[in-house]
Amino acid sequence: MTVYAIIGGTGLTQLEGLTIRQALPLETPYGKPSADVLRGEYAGREVLFLARHGHPHRIPPHQVNYRANLWALREAGAEAFLAVNAVGGIHAAMGTGHLCVPHQIVDYTYGRAHTYFEGELDAVTHVDFSYPYDEALRQKLIAALGAEGCAWSGHGVYGCTQGPRLETAAEITRLERDGCDIVGMTGMPEAVLARELDLPYACLALVVNPAAGKSHQLITMADIERALSEGMGRVKSVLGRLLASH
């Protein structure tokens, strides 16, 4: 059976219901990951779990060591990545609490260590990134969402910004013009690093606020935390359904 690694984002620094068998304080050629890799049992099967922002939540999106995180998970035995991301909603359908399995991504980040293929190489390597998410894994998430009975979308374009600040209304207008449906800060370079490791990767995104300018109210952390608290239960249920059926 496939060993899935769950990468928990904001609101999912620990996976309630995970029976932890082992905490692995791994070192990698790229430094330390955000937290120990946890090996355990969830929904009746072996999984790996890593808190993207550390536990407690302390590492901002632009300072996450994405290379170390994915490398450590692979070294621990991960065969596929299920990434959980908190995002803002741009498209009208992406209201607070909506769950989205994006099919494309636009990268607006800068200055992040974004590849394993650098330094003293034997040859230059380019990976095909036309379709950034693994389609078979996306379909498994979609099937689990379909059984959950909540508001969801099986496609969407994820615009990944640098952070840690939220975007301006003008920036969101630009992203919308570029075709983005949701906006977050952690989708890249995570997705491309998984591709460089040749491991399937898919994202389950929870909309926790309307993007800047998409609401008459200011975005507050209290509102975001409320949406996270309400939505992460559905996220865990979806992950449990996927794991139990595959």
Domain residue spans of the chain:
4-116+129-245
Angle between helices 221-245 and 135-148 (to 10 degrees): 100
Strand-strand pairing, 4-8 and 80-89: parallel
Q: Which amino acid makes up residue 14?
A: Q
For residue 81, what are its two tokens?
């990545």
Q: What average pLDDT does the segment 180-207 reach?
A: 97
The reply, when asked if residue 62 is annotated as ligand binding, is no
Residues in contact with 74: Cβ distance below 8 Å, sequence separation at least 6, in sequence order? 197, 199
Q: Residue 11 has what pLDDT?
A: 60
The confidence score (pLDDT) of residue 147 equals 86
Question: For residue 186, what pLDDT is reported?
Answer: 97
- Average of per-residue pLDDT across 172-186: 98
Whether residue 216 is annotated as binding a ligand: the answer is: no
Give the pLDDT band of residue 103 (cuts 50, 70, 90): very high
pTM above 0.85, yes or no: yes
What average pLDDT does this structure show over 79-104? 96
Buried b (16+ CB within 10 A) or exposed e, 2-32: eebbbbbbbbbbebeebeeeeebebebebee
Query: Sign of the C-alpha dihedral, residues 96, 99, 104, 109?
Result: positive
Q: Determine whether the annotation assigns residue 186 to a binding site.
A: yes
To the question of whether residue 10 is assigned a binding role by annotation, the answer is yes
Residue 211 annotated as lining a ligand binding site: yes
Predicted confidence at residue 121, as pLDDT, reads 77
Of 47-61, 124-138, 181-195, give the lowest mean pLDDT range. 47-61
CATH of 4-116+129-245, one of 3.10.20.30, 2.70.170.10, 3.40.50.1580, 3.90.1150.10: 3.40.50.1580
Q: For 211-240, what is the mean pLDDT? A: 84
61 is known to lie in a ligand binding site: no
**What are the tens digits of pLDDT across the range 8-29?**
876 665 676 777 888 999 999 9
* Tokens linked to 233: 């239960």
Would the annotation count 65 as a binding residue? no
- Of these ranges, 4-18, 71-85, 140-154, the one predicted with the greatest mean pLDDT is 71-85
Higher pLDDT among residues 15 and 160, named by residue: 160
Q: Tell me the average pLDDT across 109-122.
A: 91
Residue-wise burial string across 182-214, b where 16 or more C-beta atoms lie within 10 A, e elsewhere: bbbbbbbbbbbbbbbbebbbbbbbbbbbbbbeb
